[in-house]
């Protein structure tokens, strides 16, 4: 199992305190969520491959460094995953972004798949899978099922997530032990409506205002 939680520094906890607060207005929610998402995506890039590369600097010295290798893409689970696309584009220039539209049924919390559109050569790429909330795990499990159906190797998927909980992590990693999970924080549990506790409510509603 490969689950990485961001270090809970005071600065990070202060950002989470703002986005969790029911009184926080939408513009501040977006600003602080975007800051955390940026940290998560930067963390996720640490799991992408590199190789050694030596260059010469303007001081005529040699520098033994690294270069990025391997093709990557991002796939967002619509709607909330789309909020993570800007950070991915800011960090990975010209990255291709696929979409998987999955919505939880409001009564059963079971995921329903409506649509997907992915890069044709996705099987050759590392995939940053984007969804801010991992609750029961149903949506993320379905998304990986689609990626694997397109030939993506489980070990090349990095799931980037803002808030998770033990139930979702158990379900997801039980099914896909080789997928790396980068989560901002692992919360306590789920309530009877399958919302994360303490959580932040409905991410999509708060970020998009709909």
Kindly list the catalytic residues.
104, 108, 202, 205
| End-to-end CA gap in the chain | 36
Q: List the alpha helices (DSSP H) in the chain.
A: 10-20, 26-45, 85-91, 138-149, 166-175, 203-208
Residues 35 to 94 in contact with ligand PRP, rule: CB under 6 A: 77, 79-80
**Strand-pair partners of 192:** none
Residue in 78, 92, 129, 135 binding ligand URA, rule: CB under 6 A? 135
Q: Can residue 196 be called a binding residue for ligand URA (CB under 6 A)?
A: yes
* 3-class secondary structure, 69: coil
Contacts of 173 (CB under 8 A, 6+ apart): 1, 2, 3, 179, 181
CA geometry: angle at 146 spanning 143 and 158, to 5°? 55
Helix (DSSP H) and strand (DSSP E) numbers for the chain: 6, 11
Q: Can residue 204 be called a binding residue for ligand PRP (CB under 6 A)?
A: yes
Residues 157 to 176 in contact with ligand PRP, rule: CB under 6 A: 168
Q: Can residue 136 be called a binding residue for ligand PRP (CB under 6 A)?
A: yes
Least CB distance from residue 129 to ligand URA, whole Å? 16
Burial class (CB in 10 A: 0-12, 13-18, 19+), 102: buried
Query: Is the CB of 184 or the CB of 199 nearer to ligand URA?
Result: 199
For residue 199, the partner it binds in ligand URA, ligand PRP, none, with Cβ less than 5 to 8 A by kind, is ligand URA
Q: Which stretch binds ligand PRP (CB under 6 A): 19-27, 44-52, 125-133, 145-153?
A: 125-133
Residues 38 to 97 in contact with ligand URA, rule: CB under 6 A: none
Chain residues that interact with ligand URA, rule: CB under 6 A: 133, 135, 195-196, 199, 202-204
């Amino acid at each position: 199992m490969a689950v990485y939680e961001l270090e809970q520094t005071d600065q990070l906890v202060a950002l989470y305190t703002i986005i969790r607060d029911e009184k926080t207005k939408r513009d501040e929610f977006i600003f602080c969520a975007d800051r955390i998402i940026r940290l998560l995506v930067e963390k996720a890039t640490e799991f992408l491959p590199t190789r050694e590369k030596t260059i010469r600097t303007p001081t005529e010295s040699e520098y033994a460094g690294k270069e990025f290798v391997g093709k990557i893409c991002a796939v967002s689970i619509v709607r909330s995953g789309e909020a993570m696309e800007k950070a991915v584009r800011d960090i990975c220039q010209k990255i291709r972004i696929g979409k998987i539209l999955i919505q939880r049924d409001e009564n059963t919390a079971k995921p329903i798949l409506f649509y997907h559109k992915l890069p044709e050569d996705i099987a050759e790429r590392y995939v940053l899978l984007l969804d801010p909330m991992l609750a029961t795990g149903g949506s993320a499990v379905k998304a990986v099922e689609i990626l694997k159906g397109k030939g993506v190797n489980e070990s090349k998927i990095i799931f980037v997530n803002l808030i998770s909980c033990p139930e979702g992590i158990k379900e997801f990693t039980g099914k896909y032990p080789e997928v790396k999970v980068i989560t901002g924080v692992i919360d306590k549990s789920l309530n009877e409506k399958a919302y994360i506790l303490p959580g932040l409510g409905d991410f999509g509603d708060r970020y998009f205002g709909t």
